[in-house]
Amino acid sequence: MKCVKKTKMTEFTKTIHLPSTSFSMKANLVHNEEKWIKFWEENTVSTTFKKENTNNFILHDGPPYANGHLHLGHALNKILKDIICRAYIKLGFNVDYIPGWDCHGLPIEWKVEEKYRKSGKNKDEIDQIKFRDECRKFAASWVEIQCDEFKRLGISCDWEKKYTTMTNESESIIVSEFLKFLEDGRLYLGHKPVMWSVVEKTALAEAEVEYQEKKSTSIYVKFPIRKSNKDAVKDASIIIWTTTPWTLPGNRAIAFSEKLDYKLILFTEDFIELNIKKNEKIIFEKKLLKVFFEKYGVENYKVLDEFKGDYLEKTFCEHPLKKNGFNFLVPLLSGEHVTDETGSGFVHIAPGHGLEDFEIGKKFGLEIPKTVENNGTYSANVPFFSGKHIFKVEKEIVDKLNDEKMLLCSSDFNHSYPHSWRSKAPLIYRATSQWFISMKEKDLRESALKAIDKVNWIPKTSKNRILSMVSERPDWCVSRQRSWGVPITIFVNNKTGEPLIDKEVNKRIVSKVYDKGTDIWFSGSKELFLGSNYNLEEFEKVTDILDVWFDSGSSHAFVLKNRGIKEKSDLYLEGSDQHRGWFQSSLLESCAIYGDSPFKTVLTHGFVLDEKGKKMSKSMGNVISPEDVIKKYGADILRLWVSTSNYNEDLKISYQSLDRQTEIYRKIRNSLRFLLGNLKDWNNKEIIEHEELPLLEKYIRHEIYKIHSTVIESFKKYNFHKAFQLISSFCNNELSSFFFDIRKDVLYCDPLNSKSRFSSRTVMVDIFKNLINWLSPVLAFTSEEAWQCWKKEIQNEEEKSCHEVHYKKLPENWKNNELEKQWGFIKVIRKAVSYFIEKKREQKIIKSSLEAKPYIYLGNKNLKQSIIGVDLKEILITSDVQIVDEKGPGFETYEEDNDIAIKIELFDGVKCNRCWKIFKFNGQSSESFICKRCKDAINTNL
């Protein structure tokens, strides 16, 4: 390159068309997002537009508890729903999405009780109506707080139409739905074991139970045989194993398996460690005996006999706590649930403290004793332990067994155990009188299983999960012994114990609840509901409340059907734990009353965990809240994190992962800024017809067409991370590092009215509009900011918000697979040239690609054909290029494609002071050192 005196480049800066836009490089989302929330509210921009002759899309919102600030699980759930709603608006659907809140139940009641406890008051001292009103106010306050927090996440819907389970209308429909179960014989009052919280003094649903590791005391206990028709076993002891010693006072039988093999053992020496004396006999399952003896080193024994379990029929044992008042015989009974996996091959049966125990008791007519009170203390009828708390007396029970030589051994045992999800206290099975919905009556289980088969479950594996749960679930216990909730509006006959089934009475109940709310059940007289047709003294109101899962499970009735929507919801979307919660209660309620499921598709997401995959908790100090994220990054970064994650699995989050999302966001924002800056003064008169566009612009349109189709299909299938991967890749690989890189020269330096510049800008308009349309369901705030900038600075549009712009079918002639193949080869050539230019730059032979002249050998027909009709130096961003037929000295073969060889030389010329390209200098002193293209551009622009 010749050394010549150059004119200062600053003389030509004002002639270059540099980008200009108010869309800043720095997003400042934390501050600016609030502005767009206000804009949406003032302009009634919502995800619930209604147009005639348009298909509906119904997303029924599973109601979160109105209790406490939002956590990231809430954010994940609502952002996913919002992305879907915004996408379906763009697909041309009428979206029906009404946000809801679950306002009854233990979590809220527990918080109100806490307030009373802090002031030294007992909840039982408070008037019930006053207490319920406190709960109502507490729930209402959190509905408003959570509502504002959801808005800050960019969740868009008609918030004024939000539903709660505690309005008169909602409660009246819940009552109406519940009474239908009574009227058609599906509801019954039963006495059986249920999951019971001794802390909260109520039965709990399976969905209110969480399993945690618990250290229990496991014991092997002797039950001496006192009666049998088999002489050989009369002086032996049955050995049972249990991890709940507190249930032994409720023991009424021992179960064996008819399929297992048992051994009758005689000890030939004392074994003090196991409270065994010489010549003592025990009976133990064969396989488990070997494990037990190896563990304790038992060697001195004889096997007297071996038999199947049914050999022990008609055998009775002495209760091991006989000397403490348990003076009754315990029968040995066959039980199908007995296995040889752990223990001794025998299971002690306490019919009031286990479902399988209860079923055996019912089968064989055993007494179901009342052993434990609602607060966890032994009942007055329990010998010796009466009034003592079950969890505090276990050591005493073990000591008593040891004193009486009935204990073989005890040890700590760690296992997964049910706990209350609210109080975190361990639960027990306790036999109580509760109201149940029968799974067998009128084939509810069968109906639900058939309905499951017709639903689209995402992911597919979730179908097997709910099938298993419904197949095995017991009857639905719907009564709770609490105060805050929808009451079980049933009258029971004092003499018969039977519920009153009278449709006129039920209509009256529903009507009164609609007018006055459910408090009327507790404050109103019996006559108010029963009228004059019944003797009021013969009936009592049930004072229990309904399981809150029935409330939310019937929400499809009061949120959708009550508004005249007869079709099923298109989508239910919640966390995977709702297979045993809301999905199941909704399914059972709808199948029983309406004969089918209330949903077409059920989509589940995982849980949000910390960076190590652990559950977040305040005690561990690993909690990241939505508020934390918004204050540091802005809601769009959280929305971006959701969209780029595989939400079907559990999601890990950390500030490091959010930093990575910020980098992805920055690249996308820069793409939008480049487009807006270079489309200033755009006029539709610039539009160039597709057939007249350069090949590069046609290729970019093909990419837009291809991505548009895939993004739309991905949104339809709720595959957001695939959609966003495509969008992000398009911004990085097709735009920033390719199309924008190549076309900067045309945009900045070509004449304003040149066809080349018009062509680039024509396609850039296509890029911008489609990119905003793809991004807006996810980056709701940033897309709006860019769209309003477009409207204000470049071209006004009919739609007041980007969220009102529908997806449009793109012209078919944009699609060109052959062009995609061609540019695939061109990109390989470009990459190869860039590689060798970079080597020269590292060697300090050249400073930029514009100083290089590549000589390119292409040994492949496809590569040669690909460059036909293409200005290769424009694509390579070099000042010159030469294609050669043979490789000469200095050529290097490209490692990634042996059909390409390249030699890079310094192009001999001078640098244009305007565009910086190298051109051949003619030596005339009048030259201002600008190339002919730039000289023409300056003259044309002037």
Output the pLDDT for position 47: 57
The whole-number pLDDT of residue 7 equals 46
Whole-number pLDDT of residue 14: 83
| Peptide bond preceding 249 in cis form (omega within 30 of 0) | no
Q: Which residues contact 51 (CB under 8 A, 6 or more apart)?
A: 94
- Confidence grade of residue 3 (pLDDT, cut at 50, 70, 90): very low
Q: Which residues pair with 477 in a beta bridge?
A: 436
Question: Given its phi and psi angles, is residue 365 left (phi above 0), alpha (psi -120 to 50 degrees) or beta?
Answer: left
How far apart are alpha carbons 335 and 127 in whole angstroms? Answer: 48
Residue 16's pLDDT is 87
Q: Alpha-carbon distance 307 to 262, whole Å?
A: 5
Share of the chain above pLDDT 90, in %: 80
Q: CA 59, CA 897: separation in Å to the nearest integer?
A: 51
What are the φ/ψ torsions at residue 322 (nearest 5 degrees)?
A: -55, -45
Report the distance separating Cα 2 and Cα 349, nearest Å: 101
Q: Between 923 and 14, name the one with better pLDDT.
A: 14
Higher pLDDT: 60 or 422? It is 60
d(CA 850, CA 95): 53
Mean pLDDT, residues 480-507 taken together: 95
Cα–Cα distance measured from residue 702 to residue 710, given in angstroms and rounded to the nearest whole number: 13
Q: What pLDDT score does 922 carry?
A: 67
Dist CA 702 CA 249 (whole Å):
78
How far is it, in rounded angstroms, from Cα 817 to Cα 175?
61
Q: Output the furthest CA–CA distance in the chain (Å, rounded).
A: 129
DSSP code, position 228 = -
Identify the CA nearest to 602 among candidates 556, 550, 652. 556
With 90 as the cut, is the pLDDT of residue 565 above it? no
Q: What is the DSSP string of 781-847?
A: HHHHHHHHHHHHHT---S-SSGGGPPP-PPPGGG--HHHHHHHHHHHHHHHHHHHHHHHHHHTTS-S
Model confidence pLDDT, tens digit, residues 788-827: 999 999 998 888 999 999 999 999 999 999 999 999 999 9
- Output the CA torsion sign for 382, 384, 386, 391: negative
Burial of residue 293 (CB within 10 Å: 0-12, 13-18, 19+) is middle
**CA–CA–CA angle 504, 505, 507 (5° rounding):** 65
Using DSSP's 3-state secondary structure scheme, residue 458 falls into: strand
Local confidence band at 1 (pLDDT 50, 70, 90 cut-offs): very low
pLDDT class for 655, splitting at 50, 70, 90?
Answer: very high
Query: Is pLDDT above 90 for 268?
Result: yes
CA dist., res. 887 & res. 22, Å (int): 51
Structure tokens at 580: 């045993």
Name residue 103's beta-bridge partners.
none
Q: Which pLDDT tens digit goes with each residue over 400-414? A: 999 999 999 999 888
- Between strands 261-267 and 301-308, the pairing is antiparallel
Residues 720-771 pLDDT 10s? 999 999 999 999 999 999 999 999 999 999 999 999 999 999 999 999 999 9
- What is the pLDDT confidence band of residue 932, given thresholds at 50, 70 and 90? confident
Non-local (6+) Cβ contacts of 539 within 8 A are 491, 492, 493, 494, 500, 526, 530
Residue 571 CB partners (closer than 8 Å, separation 6+): 57, 58, 59, 60, 84, 599, 600, 601, 602, 603
* Total residues belonging to the chain: 942
pLDDT band at 423 (very low <50, low <70, confident <90, very high): confident
β-pairing, 599-605 with 569-575? Answer: parallel
CB atoms within 10 A of CB 860: 14
Strands (E), 507-548: 539-541, 545-546
Query: What is the Cα gyration radius of the chain?
Result: 38
Bridge-partner residues for 545, per DSSP? 480, 487
Tell me what pLDDT residue 206 has.
76
Question: Which residue has tokens 């051109």?
Answer: 919
For residue 782, give the nearest of 661, 659, 643, 635 by alpha carbon: 635
User: Considering only 287-291, 609-613, 617-621, 856-860, which range has the smallest mean pLDDT?
Assistant: 617-621
pLDDT at 4 over 50: no
**Is the Cα torsion angle 298, 304, 307, 310 positive or negative in sign?**
negative
Sequence-ordered alpha helix ranges (H) in 91-167: 106-118, 128-152
Asked if pLDDT for residue 474 goes beyond 80, the answer is yes
Structural domains of the chain sorted by starting position, each given as residue range(s) with its CATH number in brackets:
17-23+649-815 (1.10.730.20), 217-371+397-427 (3.90.740.10), 832-908 (3.30.2320.20)
- Name the token pair of 740: 């924008």
The answer on pLDDT for 54 being more than 80 is: no
pTM of the model: 0.88
DSSP line for 669-704 = HHHHHHHHHHTTT--GGG---GGGS-HHHHHHHHHH
Of 882, 884, 879, nearest to 921 by C-alpha is 879
Sign of CA pseudo-dihedral 162, 168, 170, 171: positive
Q: At what angle do helices 635-643 and 720-729 cross, to 10 degrees?
A: 110
Residue 923 has a pLDDT of 61
Tokens of 898: 């042996």
Question: How many angstroms separate the CA atoms of 144 and 125, rounded?
Answer: 29
Q: For position 106, what pLDDT does the model report?
A: 86
Mean pLDDT of 464-472: 94
Q: Kindly indicate the confidence band of residue 88, based on its pLDDT and cuts at 50, 70 and 90.
A: very high
Place of tokens 């969905």: 207
Query: Is the per-residue pLDDT at 8 higher than 80?
Result: no
Residue 703 buriedness (CB in 10 A; 0-12 / 13-18 / 19+): buried
Residue 74's pLDDT is 96
Letter for the amino acid at 568? K
DSSP notation for 848-870: SGGGEEEEEEE-SHHHHHHTTT-
444-454 and 461-472 helices, crossing angle to 10°: 180
* SS3 (DSSP) at 255: strand
**What's the confidence (pLDDT) of residue 85?**
95
Look at residue 558 and tell me whether its pLDDT is greater than 70: yes
Q: Among residues of the chain, what percentage have pLDDT more than 70?
A: 97
Within 8 A by CB and 6+ apart from 728, the residues are: 644, 664, 667, 668
Helix (H, G, I), strand (E, B), or coil: what is residue 407? strand
Compute the distance between CA of residue 466 and CA of residue 572 in angstroms, rounded to an integer: 14
534 Rama class: left (phi>0) / alpha (psi -120 to 50) / beta: beta
Q: Which residues pair with 256 in a beta bridge?
A: 334
Mean pLDDT, the chain, integer: 92
Tokens 């911008």 sit on residue: 768
pLDDT at 925 over 60: no
Q: Rounded to whole angstroms, how far apart are CA atoms 341 and 714?
A: 47
| CB-neighbour burial class of residue 379 (10 A; exposed 0-12, middle 13-18, buried 19+) | middle
